[in-house]
């Protein structure tokens, strides 16, 4: 797995010798805490929208608790 993107000699990469997975790894940015926050926001919006329309999503209790905890934090301390 390629992880140290800052140590790669980008101008001399032999792209033809890389596997498709290696090419993808080089082109995708590293996941950050901010990305994880956005993913939780997306998942929460999906769950809330589906629930409002009578569609229940089975979620593990500890995951549901974490999502509810994040909602409480966001309500108490908004980003803006």
On whether both 37 and 25 belong to a single domain, the answer is: no
Amino acid 37: pLDDT: 86
Supply the pTM of this predicted model.
0.58
The number of domains in the chain is 2
Q: Give the sign of the dihedral formed by CA 80, CA 44, CA 30, CA 14.
A: negative
Shared domain check, 47 and 62 = yes
Same domain? For 37 and 59 the reply is yes
What residue numbers bound the domain in which 20 lies? 1-29
Q: Residue 50 has what pLDDT?
A: 95
- Assess whether 25 and 47 both reside in one domain: no
Give the model's pLDDT for residue 12: 80
Counting other chains too, the contacts that 19-28 makes at CB distance below 8 Å and 24 or more residues apart are 25/1, 26/2
How many other β-carbons are positioned within 10 Å of the β-carbon of residue 1? 5
7 and 41 together in one domain? no
Average pLDDT across each block of 10 residues of the chain; the chain has 80 residues. List them in order.
62 84 81 86 92 91 88 86
Same domain for 43 and 63, yes or no, is: yes
DSSP code of residue 74: H
pLDDT of residue 2: 53
């Amino acid at each position: 797995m390629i992880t140290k993107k800052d140590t790669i000699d980008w101008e001399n990469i032999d792209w033809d010798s890389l596997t498709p997975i290696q090419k993808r790894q080089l082109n995708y940015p590293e996941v950050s805490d901010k990305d994880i926050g956005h993913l939780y926001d997306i998942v929460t919006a999906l769950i809330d929208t589906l629930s409002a329309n009578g569609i229940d999503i089975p979620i593990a209790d500890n995951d549901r608790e974490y999502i509810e905890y994040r909602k409480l934090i966001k309500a108490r301390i908004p980003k803006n």
